[in-house]
């Protein structure tokens, strides 16, 4: 069973956890103790981010080379270094997020910073406001007016002249998109940022980011840094909202209970509403194990591909190279003569005849002429329960394959457009725009419509996966709830319980979105699934085969692909394009750089 690097919480869960902390502080007669602890850590981060050394690494760039939002913009940073210690400005709302901001301002002022707080609501947190005044923070009261009303005044110049803004307008207490004067204020601030970029440090979440599935339905103040209080929130790591967070840092608040929910939902599933992030070089390396002393090519795994066509020959080569990078002992490629010649010229070890395989991939670069071979391999996998990856063109075959494939062993790897087309073909009319605005929701819908694992490719790729783990392990780990749940399914899967582990990898580069990049990923996933199951997979019940298609393996492949793209982009300082072949080439150096 998988425990990823961490669970990202829903806003409701985060609010409940935070409330418990506040209640405990209140019971001890100091209701703001927790808030001051948050503010102290925020103030430390703000001071650090104001230091010259932090600038070159931290300024954002739109073409990010990122670990979820971390940006590089070295030249712009250098230009601002001299006067970045000018004044700090905070925008303060009427809730506790504003309270955090005011205490933060007070602490910064006490440490010698020049700070001005703009109160956007008449009901700012009273004790925090008093502390800010006492510390010498400049206070500007908007009394409910939009910030736009200040344009042309000296206060407006203070806002524009600041190098660093602190966003305490709203946090996780906001419901729905921002409305009224707050919406206008945020729009106005974003306009100023577009004209004159600055550091924007969001306390907990960028103001306006309110949807657990990362949907962007209204104005959000675009942060360069987001300081997540206590735990990451789902919207901070999900596209499209992730783009507004900039570099994400955690403010540790000793939150407990941020583990997988063991309570089944209405349909009896565990963890289907959870979201994890994957950020582990070591775990990724475990998916590509060093061969054992006596391993021959068959022991290392053989992958069978139906990829490439006379219409799209290059896809056959790129998928092949993705598979080879996974360390399989052999790739068997079924393709046209033209593709075979192309592949053999680059990779003479590839075998063009059929035979024993441990996993399969159909789809990259296929055209109508390749339909029969793709269907045949899919059907073979369905009958044998062998892992099958369905990508690109072959995704259009899914509606006719639904009854024949083995969903537990099948992975669909659509991009947004393909996901929309497939969902529509399966009876759920969906546009590409709808997928782009709520990719997690659509990945889940695709799983529900097909039963398959889904790798939804995008700026941040989502792995919507699950495992059937032995009841004994689940119960050991999670206690009574799981035991009760498993009993209800005993007739269906005796001894097993289904656990969902939707995951995003915390690494990305926008240079990865290039033709053929997905072919490499599909090949890599199929290759990883052909490798012998080892430490990286969940254990199966006594006597059963070890599980091959797991969240851990799929996430590892996605992570390696993104890391390879990022490393290739970094070789060019993130400023020059990379090609799909660069990603394939870089996978082995990423693996080589990871200590095993
Ligand atoms: N709960 C607590 O006691 C603490 C919360 N902290 C911080 O405070 C934040 C949560 O505080 P709150 O629960 O007070 O809420 P927020 O401060 O996030 O937001 C609540 C305010 O936003 C307004 N609002 C809500 N939805 C809106 C919308 N759609 N458009 C415009 N205005 C809207 C409300 O009227 C209210 O004034 C967290 O993110 C966290 O950072 C902690 O750091 C300190 C203790
Ligand atoms: N803006 C982006 N930032 C990072 N990665 C991206 C972006 N856009 C696309 N990608 C990645 O690029 C790959 C493109 O795959 P796909 O669309 O299938 O292309 P192809 O079929 O040409 O190989 C996917 O891995 C996807 O996650």
Assigned token pair, 347: 């990779």
Q: Which atom of ligand 1 is nearest to the CA of 97?
A: 8
Is residue 518 part of an annotated ligand binding site?
Answer: yes
Pocket residues for ligand 2 (CB within 6 Å)?
392, 415, 457-459, 461, 508-510, 512-513, 515-519, 521
Residue 382 inside a domain? The answer is yes
The pLDDT tens digits for 174-199 are 999 999 999 999 999 999 999 999 99
Residue 316 inside a domain? The answer is yes
pLDDT of residue 499: 85
Question: In terms of residue numbers, what domain contains 387?
Answer: 276-476+491-535+543-595
Residue 486 inside a domain? The answer is no
Query: Are 221 and 280 part of one and the same domain?
Result: no
Pocket test for ligand 2, best of 458, 522, 584 (most atoms within 8 A of CB): 458
Query: Are 299 and 162 part of one and the same domain?
Result: no
* Cα 317 from Cα 270, distance rounded (Å): 40
The pLDDT tens digits for 234-287 are 999 999 999 999 999 999 887 765 555 666 677 667 777 788 888 888 888 889
Tokens 């103001």 label which residue?
207
Ligand number with the minimum distance to the CA of 170? 1
Query: Are 124 and 174 part of one and the same domain?
Result: yes
Tokens 């139906």 label which residue?
306
Distance of CA 346 to the CA centre of its chain: 34
Is residue 457 part of an annotated ligand binding site?
Answer: yes
- Specify which residues 5 forms β-bridges with: none
Residue 73 has pLDDT above 50, yes or no: no
* Cα 592 from Cα 584, distance rounded (Å): 14
* Cα 118 from Cα 87, distance rounded (Å): 13
* Cα 535 from Cα 551, distance rounded (Å): 13
Is residue 541 part of an annotated ligand binding site?
Answer: no
* Cα 199 from Cα 58, distance rounded (Å): 9
- C-beta separation of 73 from 60 below 8 A: yes
* Cα 327 from Cα 307, distance rounded (Å): 19
Query: Are 501 and 362 part of one and the same domain?
Result: yes
Q: In the chain, helix, strand, coil percent, each to 5?
A: 45, 15, 40
Query: Are 44 and 178 part of one and the same domain?
Result: yes
User: What stretches of 352-476 adopt beta strand conformation (E)?
Assistant: 359-362, 388-391, 410-413, 453-456, 462-464, 466-470
* Cα 412 from Cα 462, distance rounded (Å): 12
CATH number for the domain that contains residue 346: 3.40.1190.20
Residue 68 inside a domain? The answer is no
CB neighbour list of residue 374: distance below 8 Å, 6 or more residues apart: 306, 362, 363, 366, 394, 397
- C-beta separation of 583 from 561 below 8 A: yes
Please state whether beta strands 115-119 and 199-203 pair in parallel, antiparallel, or not at all (unpaired): unpaired
3-class SS of residue 66: strand
Query: Are 529 and 393 part of one and the same domain?
Result: yes
CATH number for the domain that contains residue 225: 3.40.50.10260
pTM score, whole prediction: 0.89
The pLDDT tens digits for 318-330 are 999 999 999 999 9
Query: What DSSP element (H or E) covers 278?
Result: strand 275-278
* Cα 378 from Cα 206, distance rounded (Å): 45
Residue 2 has pLDDT above 50, yes or no: no
Q: For residues 190-201, b (16+ Cβ closer than 10 Å) or e, as one string?
A: bebbeeebbbbb
Count of domains for the chain: 2
Number of residues in the chain: 596
Query: Are 246 and 294 part of one and the same domain?
Result: no
- Specify which residues 390 forms β-bridges with: 362, 412
Residue 4 inside a domain? The answer is no
pLDDT of residue 76: 42
Q: Which atom of ligand 1 is nearest to the CA of 178?
A: 30
- C-beta separation of 360 from 384 below 8 A: no
Is residue 42 part of an annotated ligand binding site?
Answer: no
- CA 414 / ligand 2 centre spacing (Å): 10
**Of 202, 235, 251, which one is at a domain's C-terminal end?**
251
* Cα 516 from Cα 583, distance rounded (Å): 10
Q: Is the dihedral of CA 388, 456, 260, 527 positive or negative?
A: positive
The residue nearest atom 15 of ligand 2, judged by CA position, is: 518
pLDDT of residue 485: 45
The residue nearest atom 40 of ligand 1, judged by CA position, is: 97
Distance of CA 100 to the CA centre of its chain: 27
Query: Are 292 and 207 part of one and the same domain?
Result: no
Residue 348 inside a domain? The answer is yes
* Distance in Å from the first CA to the final CA of the chain: 21
Query: Are 312 and 197 part of one and the same domain?
Result: no
Task: Tell which residue, 36, 37, 73, has the closest CA to residue 56.
Answer: 73
Residue 300 inside a domain? The answer is yes
Is residue 115 part of an annotated ligand binding site?
Answer: no
Ligand number with the minimum distance to the CA of 38? 1
Pocket residues for ligand 1 (CB within 6 Å)?
18-19, 22, 34-35, 38, 93-98, 100, 121, 170-179, 182, 203-204, 229
Residue 546 has pLDDT above 90, yes or no: no
Integer CA distances (angstroms), 531 to 126, 361, 591, in order: 61, 14, 15
Which DSSP symbol is given to 532?
P
* DSSP secondary structure string for all residues of 541-579: STTSPPP-S-HHHHHHHHHHHHHHHHHHHHTTTTTS---
Residue 3 inside a domain? The answer is no
Query: Are 147 and 282 part of one and the same domain?
Result: no
pLDDT of residue 543: 38
Query: Are 306 and 168 part of one and the same domain?
Result: no
Query: Are 93 and 130 part of one and the same domain?
Result: yes
- C-beta separation of 525 from 389 below 8 A: yes
Residue 87 has pLDDT above 80, yes or no: yes
Residue 481 has pLDDT above 90, yes or no: no
Ligand number with the minimum distance to the CA of 185? 1
- C-beta separation of 541 from 548 below 8 A: no
Instruction: Point out the least confidently predicted range of 27-41, 61-75, 370-384, 495-509.
Output: 61-75
3-class SS letters over 264-284: CCCCCCECCCCEEEECCHHHH
What angle, rounded to 10 degrees, do the helices at 180-195 and 154-161 form? Answer: 60
Assigned token pair, 366: 């296929």
- C-beta separation of 551 from 463 below 8 A: yes
Q: Which atom of ligand 1 is nearest to the CA of 203?
A: 41
The pLDDT tens digits for 409-433 are 999 999 999 999 999 999 999 999 9
Phi, psi of 504 (to 5 degrees): -120, 150
The residue nearest atom 44 of ligand 1, judged by CA position, is: 35
């Amino acid at each position: 069973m998988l425990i990823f690097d961490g669970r990202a919480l829903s806003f409701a869960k985060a609010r409940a956890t935070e409330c418990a902390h506040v209640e405990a502080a209140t019971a001890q007669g100091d209701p703001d103790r927790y808030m001051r602890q948050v503010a102290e850590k925020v103030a430390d981060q703000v001071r650090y981010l104001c230091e010259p050394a932090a600038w070159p690494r931290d300024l954002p760039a739109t073409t990010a080379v990122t670990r979820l939002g971390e940006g590089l913009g070295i030249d712009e940073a250098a230009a601002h270094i001299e006067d970045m210690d000018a004044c700090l400005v905070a925008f303060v709302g009427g809730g506790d997020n504003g309270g955090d901001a005011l205490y933060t301002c007070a602490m910064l002022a006490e440490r010698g910073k020049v700070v001005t707080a703009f109160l956007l609501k008449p009901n700012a947190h009273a004790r925090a406001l008093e502390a800010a005044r006492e510390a010498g923070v400049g206070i500007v009261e908007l009394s409910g007016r939009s910030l736009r009303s200040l344009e042309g005044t000296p206060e407006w110049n203070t806002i524009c002249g600041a190098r660093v803004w602190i966003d305490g307008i709203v946090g996780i207490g906001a419901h729905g998109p921002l409305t009224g004067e707050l919406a206008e204020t945020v729009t106005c601030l974003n306009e100023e940022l577009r004209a004159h970029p600055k550091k924007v440090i969001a306390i907990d979440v960028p103001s306006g980011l309110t949807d657990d599935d990362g949907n962007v339905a209204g104005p959000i103040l675009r942060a360069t840094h987001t300081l997540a209080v206590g735990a990451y929130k789902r919207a901070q790591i999900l596209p499209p909202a992730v783009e507004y967070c900039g570099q994400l840092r955690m403010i540790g608040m000793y939150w407990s209970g941020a583990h997988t929910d063991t309570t089944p939902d209405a349909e009896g599933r565990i963890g289907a509403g959870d979201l994890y992030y994957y950020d582990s070089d070591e775990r990724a390396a475990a998916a590509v194990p060093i061969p054992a002393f006596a391993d021959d090519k068959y022991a290392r795994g053989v992958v069978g591909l139906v990829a490439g066509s006379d219409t799209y020959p290059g896809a056959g080569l790129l998928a092949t190279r993705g598979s080879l990078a996974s360390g399989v002992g052999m790739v068997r490629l079924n393709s046209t003569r033209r593709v075979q010649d192309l592949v053999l010229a680059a990779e003479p070890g590839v075998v063009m005849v059929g035979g024993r395989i441990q996993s399969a991939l159909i789809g990259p670069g296929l055209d109508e002429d390749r339909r029969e071979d793709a269907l045949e391999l899919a059907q073979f996998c369905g009958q044998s329960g062998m892992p099958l990856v369905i990508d690109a063109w072959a995704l259009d075959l899914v509606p006719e394959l639904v009854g024949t494939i083995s969903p537990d062993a099948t992975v669909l790897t659509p991009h947004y457009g393909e996901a929309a087309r497939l969902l529509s073909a399966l009876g759920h009319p969906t546009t590409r725009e709808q997928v782009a605005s709520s990719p997690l929701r659509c990945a889940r819908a695709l799983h529900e419509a097909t039963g398959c694992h889904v790798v939804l490719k995008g700026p941040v790729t989502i792995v919507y996966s699950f495992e059937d783990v032995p009841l004994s392990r689940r119960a050991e780990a999670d206690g009574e709830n799981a035991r009760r749940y498993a009993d209800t399914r005993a007739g269906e899967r005796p001894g097993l319980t289904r656990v969902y582990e939707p995951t995003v990898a915390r690494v990305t580069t926008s240079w990865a979105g290039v033709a053929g990049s997905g072919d490499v990923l599909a090949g890599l996933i199929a290759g990883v699934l052909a490798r012998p199951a080892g430490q990286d997979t969940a254990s199966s019940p006594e006597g059963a085969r070890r599980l091959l298609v797991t969240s851990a393996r799929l996430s590892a492949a996605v992570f390696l692909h993104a890391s390879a793209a990022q490393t290739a982009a970094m070789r060019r300082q993130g400023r020059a394009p990379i090609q799909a072949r660069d990603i394939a080439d870089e996978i082995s150096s990423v693996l080589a750089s990871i200590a095993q």
